[in-house]
Amino acid sequence: MTQLLIIGGSDAGISAALRARELAPTTSPMIVMADDFPNFSICGLPFFLSGEVTDWRNLAHRTKEDIIHAGIQLLTNHTATTIRPQDKVVTAIDAAGKEKHLTYDRLIIGTGAVSNRPSIPGIDLPGVYFLRWMADSFAVHQHLTERNPRSVVIVGGGYIGLEMADALVLRGLQVTLVEHNPSVLKTVNPILGDMVKGELERHGVAVANGVSITAIQEQGNQLLVSGSHGFKEATDMVLVAVGAKPNTQLAHSAGIEMGFGGAIRVNRKMETSRPDIYAAGDCVETWHRILDQNTYLPLGTTAHKQGRVAGANAVGHSQIFAGSLGTQVVKVFDLAIARTGLRDSEALAVGFDPLTLETDVWDHKGYYPGAHKLRILVTGDRQTGKLLGAQIAGHYQGEVAKRIDIYATALFHGMTVAAVSDLDLSYTPPLGSPWDAVQMAAQAWSKALQSDLACCQSA
């Protein structure tokens, strides 16, 4: 029986343990985790803080009892500090500093990521918060419920920053969102970022683009947030959401090689440079299916898949991670924004000859009430016609997430843009059109390509 030890009880760790149990029922994996919240939905934290999820316990995908009943051992409130690969021993300490030495035959590291902490004077003042783990959400929730703040400055216009702007407006706070880039949500083209900014402002959020925060100071009972271009804002609390970086301290202790972005280097079997040690989730590199190389894409969906591969291989199987396309979606008030694959600039940087076309189409037949416009950006390669990426923004009831999944599926299978038109998609007037919105956008791209080629030939 393989002695399987897993460090980390979030998406990757739990998926690894469950898969190992499926394939090797006599294995009893042990999960070591630094807190007491195994298999909680970290992606759900903004919705707990908004009040839409009224009880934080509902964020648990599985209860502790469910996990234990599945044949998985849990060692909670223990932080793994070192790995000795030569002895196959992991040292962990509890809150009192008491050490425990754990042996393994196979080890899976799923330590996740940690919030970026920018070097801003005052970043550690009371009233300044980060949001990454359950304990972070409890601290923010306590501030909201006990101190009844009226205003908040959110530093960072990425996914967490946007979701928290939505959440805190819902709680009645005056929200100011500060982003150092020219537009919010830099993972999509600026034209869609501008749509997000408009949606934020429509709901009363003040948006400051192109501003870098330089200091946070106490000012009476408030905090004074200062930034470039004369930005100054007095506020009751500050939330810093400027991304995350891989948590690799434990892996470093074992002499494991690091790769892209300082993440743990793994192959597609999720093997590290050390024998019998695997790694998965936000702490590792991610093989990109289009780029055919590793990058760093910390996503919950990816962590689940990588954990599943690591769990299978740790009990003797030989599975390969199929790769990521960076498919993402976020809801900001009534707007949903999604992307998959490469943007024009990203495709150009790796040697493609990209053409990106923007198309506005209805989400369903206009004669049926409640139709909304979708803005779709399709990126394809001029030379081969191959689909490279897509972005969609529109009303959240317009099936933005599922429509981006159509493009993601096409990308996964290496389809051309034109081939998207051939897909046999469902249709009824309240939900779509005979040619779905994704197909109409693909057809518009193909027509634009023909015009582009014709212009080149005549020139």
Q: Give the C-alpha separation, 327 to 305, whole Å.
A: 13
Distance of CA 224 to the CA centre of its chain: 30
Can you point out the beta strands (E) in 11-55? 30-32
Phi and psi based region of residue 447 (left: phi greater than 0; alpha: psi -120 to 50; beta: remaining): alpha
Alpha-carbon span 143 to 6, nearest angstrom = 34
Task: Say if residue 199 is exposed, middle or buried (CB neighbours under 10 Å; 0-12, 13-18, 19+).
Answer: buried
Residues 6+ apart with CB under 8 A from 367: 429
Q: The tokens 């023909």 sit on which residue?
A: 450
Residues of the chain with pLDDT below 70 are 1, 453-459
| Residue type, position 12, single letter | A
**Residue 63: what are its φ and ψ, rounded to 5°?**
-80, 165
> What is the predicted pLDDT for the residue at 64?
94
Q: Compute CA 168 distance to the chain's CA centroid, rounded to the nearest angstrom.
A: 20
Helix (H) or strand (E) holding 22: helix 11-23
Measured from the Cβ of residue 353, the count of other Cβ atoms closer than 10 Å reads 12
**Spacing of C-alpha 84 from chain mean position:** 31
CB-count exposure of residue 54 (10 Å: 0-12, 13-18, 19+):
exposed
| Contacts (Cβ under 8 Å, ≥6 apart) of 163 | 46, 47, 330, 331, 332
Rounded CA separation 420/374 (Å) = 17
User: Which has the closest alpha carbon to 380: 313, 448, 295, 283?
Assistant: 448
What pLDDT sits at residue 34?
96
> Which structural domains are found in the chain, ordered by start?
4-114+245-314 (3.50.50.60), 128-240 (3.50.50.60), 334-458 (3.30.390.30)
Nearest one of 199, 203, 193 to 173, comparing CA atoms = 203
pLDDT at 454: 67
Structure tokens at 418: 């034109």
Structure tokens belonging to residue 413: 């299978």
Quick check: helix, strand or coil at residue 75? strand
In DSSP terms, 390 is beta-bridged to: 340, 378
Q: How far is Cα 209 from Cα 379, in angstroms, rounded to an integer?
A: 26
| Chain centroid, CA 238 distance in Å | 22
pLDDT at 457: 61
**Contact in structure between 115 and 240 (CB atoms under 8 Å):** yes
Place of tokens 């897993």: 6
Could you tell me which residues come within 8 angstroms of residue 77 by beta carbon, excluding any fewer than 6 positions away? 33, 34, 35, 36, 94, 95
Tokens, residue 341:
């694959």
Please list the residues that pair with 394 across neighbouring strands.
336, 374
